[in-house]
Amino acid sequence: MNLMNEVMRQPAGVVLFIFWVVFIQTLSVMFARSHREARWILAVWIGSCLALGWAYQTWGPEPGLGLIPLVLWLPLLILLWLARRSVNTMFAYGKWYWLVMITLGVFLALDGIYLIEEIILRLRG
């Protein structure tokens, strides 16, 4: 079993959202040459893929895998939020930038809820 097979076993809505996250972050390649923040996104995206793949191969489908995006993407979202004033939303880059921020925010909120639920379930026994 690999990580992609595990993703595909999830409900359709989860799979679609994960594909959206992959798509929106992969678009950073288009903007990385001329925008520093796009390079941050690309670097964190590559780091996340490598870390998740390694963690899955090491520990399997553990709920703790959700910590990796939380640890890597939360600082990224904060950096993007702090740099947002310099982004012009009249252009494609600006629109994409805000889609990334919204997507990361939604993902982190859902991931945080999932991790809290897992902690509560494990504490209950």
Tell me the two tokens of residue 5.
């097979």
Distance of CA 28 to the CA centre of its chain: 13
The answer to whether residues 72 and 47 touch, using CB atoms and an 8 Å cutoff, is yes
Distance CA 115, CA 55 (A): 16
Length of the chain: 125
pTM for the complete prediction? 0.86
Rg (CA), the chain: 16
pLDDT tens column, 69-92:
899 999 999 999 999 998 999 999
Stretch among 31-35, 64-68, 98-102 having the lowest mean pLDDT: 64-68
**Domain spans in the chain, listed from the N-terminal domain onward:** 12-124
Q: Which SS3 state, helix, strand or coil, does residue 9 take?
A: coil
Distance CA 60, CA 52 (A): 10
Residue 1 above 70 pLDDT?
Answer: no
The answer to whether residues 96 and 24 touch, using CB atoms and an 8 Å cutoff, is yes
Report which of 82, 110, 93 is spatially closest to residue 18, judged by C-alpha positions: 110
* Longest Cα–Cα distance in the chain: 52
Mean pLDDT of the chain: 91
